[in-house]
Amino acid sequence: MSGRKTISETLHDGVGMVFDAEDVLYEEGTGHHQLTLIRNPVFGKVLVLDGAVQVTSRDEFIYHEMLAHVPLAAHESPADVLIIGGGDCGLAEEVLKHRRVGTLTQVEIDASVLDFSREHFADFNAPVFDDPRFRVEIADGAVFAAETDRRFDVILVDSTDPTGPGAVLFTTEFYGSLKRILRPGGIVVSQNGVPFLQPDEFSKAMKGLSSVFGTATCYLVSVPTYFGGHMTLGWSTDNPASLAVSEETLAERMSGIETRYYTPAHHRAAFALPRFIETLLENA
Ligand code: SAM
């Protein structure tokens, strides 16, 4: 299917981004989501699920590098890693750059997102599918976390926003399951939205994470297509020392990994929060 049209993001009430669609590459209900894939002159390919932008070819590296490298560089020995969601596989690509990672399991609810991303985002996710450390399960991440006997050193929740199938990934019950399957000293990082536009969602997620993990904070990333100011990534752990790893150690653990956004100095800086986010966190 092709033709010129525009696609509007409908995630936030009262405000949204509009993308010029040079081509509409795909538009269909998958059973879990309404999936739209367009080509935009600024951002390249843009994947939209249920009216919310998920990933674009042009700025995916920003979000994926910060979601992967911050916890992996902070962890002493991230042997077994779990991704919940992450259907476009851009996060898996960053995780697998770490030779210290022995296994990567990805639990994604929607096989269509994986299939379409494999076909249309091969420019960044192609290496993932040939990597013997990578294994995908098509399942609800909340059910997997509640039932699995496996344990993980780092868990990355790369979810849609808290509506539709993603809603369950923002519940206290799900956070309890993550704690159960996290090894001692482990780290959970979760997509917690843009607090300027989603203060209630942010507060609810942080309150749930703190009540389950004790140590829960967040760090910042600015992604052009997740507009509205900084996005926050939740950081939950039983190991507060993971927040104090020196730049020197981070640099050693990142050695040989090329990045376009992440640096050890920026890793440390990303935990310095603007006052209004600090206040939301304190009051959560
Ligand atoms: N970075 C993106 C964002 O914040 O907009 C998220 C990208 S990724 C495409 C989100 C993935 O989460 C989707 O592929 C979706 O199918 C998956 N997902 C949503 N709910 C899920 C659930 N309950 N279990 C597993 N995966 C889920």
pLDDT over threshold 90, residue 13: no
Alpha-carbon gap, residue 56 to 54, rounded angstroms: 7
Summarised one tens digit per residue, pLDDT across range 176-185 is 999 999 999 9
pLDDT confidence of residue 105:
98
Distance 32 CA to ligand 1 centre (A): 10
Summarised one tens digit per residue, pLDDT across range 146-161 is 999 999 999 999 999 8
- Examine the residue annotation and report whether 115 is marked as an active-site residue of this protein: no
Ligand 1 atom at shortest distance from the alpha carbon of 141: 24
160 annotated ligand binder: yes
Structure tokens at 127: 């290496």
Domain positions in the chain are: 5-56, 60-282
pLDDT confidence of residue 156:
98
pLDDT over threshold 90, residue 1: no
Comparison of pLDDT for 197 and 13, the residue scoring more:
197
Comparison of pLDDT for 13 and 190, the residue scoring more:
190
Summarised one tens digit per residue, pLDDT across range 57-102 is 999 999 999 999 999 999 999 999 999 999 999 999 999 999 999 9
Three-state SS at 179: helix
141 annotated ligand binder: yes
User: Considering only CA atoms, which residue is closest to atom 9 of ligand 1?
Assistant: 87
pLDDT confidence of residue 7:
86
pLDDT over threshold 70, residue 223: yes
pTM of the model: 0.96
Q: How confident is the model at residue 4 (pLDDT cuts 50, 70, 90)?
A: low
Domain 60-282 has CATH 3.30.465.10: no
How many CA atoms within 13 Å lie on the side-chain side of 164?
16
Distance 159 CA to ligand 1 centre (A): 4
Catalytic residue among 59, 110, 158, 200: 158
Comparison of pLDDT for 3 and 148, the residue scoring more:
148
153 annotated ligand binder: no
23 annotated ligand binder: no
Provide the mean pLDDT of the chain.
95
pLDDT over threshold 80, residue 3: no
C-beta separation of 60 from 122 below 8 A: no
Q: Which CATH number fits domain 5-56: 3.40.50.1970, 3.40.930.10, 2.30.140.10, 2.60.40.1180?
A: 2.30.140.10
Ligand 1 atom at shortest distance from the alpha carbon of 87: 14
Distance 4 CA to ligand 1 centre (A): 28
Summarised one tens digit per residue, pLDDT across range 115-155 is 999 999 999 999 999 999 999 999 999 999 999 999 999 99
Lowest mean pLDDT among 4-13, 108-117, 189-198: 4-13
Distance 246 CA to ligand 1 centre (A): 32
pLDDT over threshold 90, residue 10: no
Q: What is the DSSP string of 43-85?
A: TEEEEEETTEEEEETTTHHHHHHHHHHHHHHHSS---EEEEEE
Let me know if the fold of 5-56 is the same as that of 60-282.
no
Output the ligand 1 site: residues, CB below 6 A. 32, 52, 54-55, 63, 84-88, 107-110, 113, 140-142, 158-160, 165-166, 168-169, 191
For residue 115, the Cα-to-chain-centroid distance in whole angstroms is 18
23-29/34-40 β-pairing: antiparallel
User: Considering only CA atoms, which residue is closest to atom 11 of ligand 1?
Assistant: 85
C-beta separation of 175 from 212 below 8 A: yes
pLDDT confidence of residue 129:
96
